[in-house]
Chains A and B, each alone.
Chain A
Amino acid sequence: MSLINLTSITKHYEMGSQVVKALDGIDITVNKNDYLAFIGSSGSGKSTMLNILGCLDKPTSGQYHLNGKNVEILDQNELSEIRNLEIGFIFQSFNLLPRANALNNVMQPLIYRSIGFRQRKEMAMDALSRVGLGDRVDHLPNQLSGGQRQRVAIARALVTHPSILLADEPTGNLDSKTTVEIMQLFDELHKEGHTLIVVTHENEIAQHCHRIVEMKDGRIFNDSATEKATLGVAV
């Protein structure tokens, strides 16, 4: 069974008399352990796409099945639960809680699962070590570099063991060296069995992935496997 199944998804914004079709009829299937990049120029609908996949936003029309569940009929609180259980978000601007240190930021999603402090801390420490930040757990976000902040955000996404990791331009605010490190981390996570969807407009980043979906004006324009995928199959 596919992890994600979209049929005829549209998202329209009414701007006065004009209708902006941010998504204009999307059909796509994503399977377990896919490593997928959405690419396309600015304004092509990539972020809108990711927000709908992450159940942050609701489509104007169309069906969305996540893990076999119809997401359409869920209310806000049920969507919160889905985001908490199934989805790990990684944002371009990191979106860490500014007054909480790295550890507390990573523990935050577990609070909504009513997990006790001890276990929360243990899980968060594991996730932080996984991204190589085991020694920075008591730093506040503004005491960390951009790359370190993104690692905290990745740890926060990983800590809940989600079925899917969604990253919207995760390296958009990072220098090239840090970008490579973060992408290597993504490659490792994929090898460990995670499902990753990355939004980017940089080709080098997309080349890390095994499948590239090109978007234009709210439509899917091309959907193809990369060399990596064929290499992976060959091995």
Chain B
Amino acid sequence: MFFAFLESSRSALAAIFANRLRSFLTTLGIIIGVASVIAVVSVTGGMSAFIGDSFASLGANSLTIQSYTPFEDLMKGIRSRLTPADLELIEKRGEGIASITPILAANRSSQIKYGSQTAYSEIMGTTYTYQDVSQTYTEVGRFLAQSDNQTRRRIAVIGEDVRENLNLPENPINEYVEFSGEWFKIVGLLEPMGDIMGQSRDNLVLVPYATMVSILGNQARTDIGIQLSLTPTAEPDAVISQLTNLLRNAHDLSSNEDDDFRIQTAEQLMEQFDQILGTLTMVIGGIVSISLLVGGIGIMNIMLVSVTERTREIGICKAIGAKSHHILMQFLIEALLLSLLGGLVGLATGYGLGMVIANNIPDFPSASVPLWAAGLALGFSAFVGVLFGILPAAKAANLDPIDALRYE
């Protein structure tokens, strides 16, 4: 039995390599399935760590407040908002708060001009504390100062992409750019931050929060985000419940209405992110299952062809003493090895793909495939091979020797 097993593996490999191209095409489904799952696992593994670091920089003692619109309302065109009035309220009445960083974004992409040059950029109003909250520092010039906000100065700190897109000089300090019909003096250039998921983080203009409020003042639909850092002695839960009451009163919510905002700790934000990542993984898992299924059917198809092609060989083997289980094992091992090899190629391809993706995202930890994922991928490939190999193998094993020998 053992020798027959070894011998079967040897001749199965010979058969697979004799038809290299066909074997490769046959296993393509499995290669793609395994490659995509490994690529995703190797990148998301790194991504969780990366996001974790990002949230850690917010500090354990910080809260994020954002407006929240339930899905049904969104469909009806209703949007919840956090307003400058809410910010003022929190500034006045909030307890246990060390610093408040408002973030007021203009419409996602706004036109910005310098001389005859025009570019599109994200414009955000915020305060000097943003620097620490988002770990964004200036390379040239200075960041927004507290006094800029109080006096609503028309100044801006720009990202590297904005400087480039507008053909601003290497040192853009004291140049003037225009947007929303107002002129802003550039006081700082941010350190380049690179891309995240193909999205540049340097196409950014920061202006003082109060300046932004006054520019957008006529647009009633402003929705701000608020970052809070707490005093060392403050209890996050207590602060959350106090702020919740404050905002519910301000928004006139009756006791049977849900909050139209979310107050979250950095930890909760991260959990939420992990949840999204989990959903993503499941969706991809579904796609992968389908491609493994298709791959398995491909293997079954080619194994059936192979059984037909080798009918005479099967007849010869039976004539010289092969029993059904010898033939069964021969073809089963061939299907198994075929899909396992496909799994291995997919593993290598997926890892390579993950590495390429990870290397193209700055600050991203290099891709790594956890052992369980590699094992699972190969196990699944093997399972698919055996599952879809059984039918052709049984067909081969049950051939009548005399008919098989006569087969032309």
Chain A residues within 8 Å of B, Cβ to Cβ: 51, 54, 56-57, 76-77, 80-81, 83-85, 89, 95-100, 108-109, 111-117, 120, 156, 160
Contacts and interface: CB of A to CB of B under 8 A. Distances in A.
Given A97-B313, A112-B4, A114-B3, A56 B323 contact: no
B1 A80 contact: no
Contacts, number: 72
A100 B14 CA distance: 9
Contacts of B319: 54, 56, 83, 89, 95
A56 B324 CA distance: 14
A112 B6 CA distance: 12
Contacts of B268: none
B360 to A, nearest CB: 45
B18 A112 contact: no
Interface residues of B, number: 27
B290 to A, nearest CB: 35
A97 B2 CA distance: 21
A152 to B, nearest CB: 12
Contact of B3 (A57, A89, A96, A111): A111
13 contacts: A54-B319, A56-B319, A56-B402, A56-B405, A81-B323, A84-B320, A95-B316, A95-B319, A97-B317, A112-B322, A114-B3, A114-B4, A115-B3
Nearest to B1: A114
Contact of A77 (B317, B320, B324): B324
A85 B11 CA distance: 23
B14 to A, nearest CB: 6
B169 interface: no
Given A98-B313, A99-B11, A81 B321 contact: yes
A85 B319 CA distance: 11
Contacts of A81: 321, 323
Contact of A56 (B1, B11, B14, B401): B401
Interface in B297-321: 312-313, 315-321
A190 to B, nearest CB: 22
Contacts of A95: 312, 315-316, 319, 405
A115 B14 CA distance: 21
B34 to A, nearest CB: 28
A80 B316 contact: no
Interface of B: 1-4, 6-7, 11, 14-15, 18, 312-313, 315-326, 401-402, 405
Contacts of B317: 97, 108
Give the residue among A85, A95, A113 with the most B Cβ atoms within 10 A.
Answer: A95
Most buried by A among B3, B6, B312: B3
Given A57-B402, A98-B313, A80 B4 contact: no
B320 A156 contact: yes
A51 B1 CA distance: 28
Contacts of A112: 4, 320-323, 326
Given A56-B402, A56-B405, A83 B3 contact: no
B3 A80 contact: no
B338 to A, nearest CB: 16
Given A57-B402, A98-B313, A83 B323 contact: no
Contacts of A100: 11
A99 B18 contact: yes
A51 B11 contact: no
A53 to B, nearest CB: 13
Nearest to B313: A97
A188 B75 CA distance: 95
Nearest to B319: A89
User: Closest 3 interchain pairs by CB?
Assistant: A84-B321, A109-B320, A112-B321
B407 to A, nearest CB: 12
**Chain A CB within 10 A, most for which of B312, B316, B326:** B316
A158 B324 CA distance: 23
Nearest to B8: A111
A99 B14 CA distance: 8
A99 B320 CA distance: 16
Contact of B7 (A57, A98, A111): A111
Nearest to A80: B323
For B3, B317, B321, the residue with the greatest tally of chain A CB atoms inside 10 Å of its CB is: B321
A203 to B, nearest CB: 27
B343 to A, nearest CB: 25
A155 to B, nearest CB: 12
Nearest to B2: A114
Contacts of A115: 3
A89 B405 CA distance: 12
Contacts of A120: 3
A160 B323 CA distance: 16
A61 B222 CA distance: 97
A117 to B, nearest CB: 7
A115 B6 CA distance: 12
A83 B323 CA distance: 10
B321 A80 contact: yes
Contacts of B15: 99
Nearest to B317: A108
Given A76-B401, A99-B15, A111-B4, 4 more contacts: A80-B401, A89-B319, A108-B320, A114-B3
Nearest to B398: A76
A100 B319 CA distance: 16
A144 to B, nearest CB: 16
Contacts of B320: 83-84, 89, 108-109, 112, 156, 160
A80 B312 CA distance: 16
A78 B123 CA distance: 84
Contacts of B401: 56, 76, 80
A98 B309 CA distance: 12
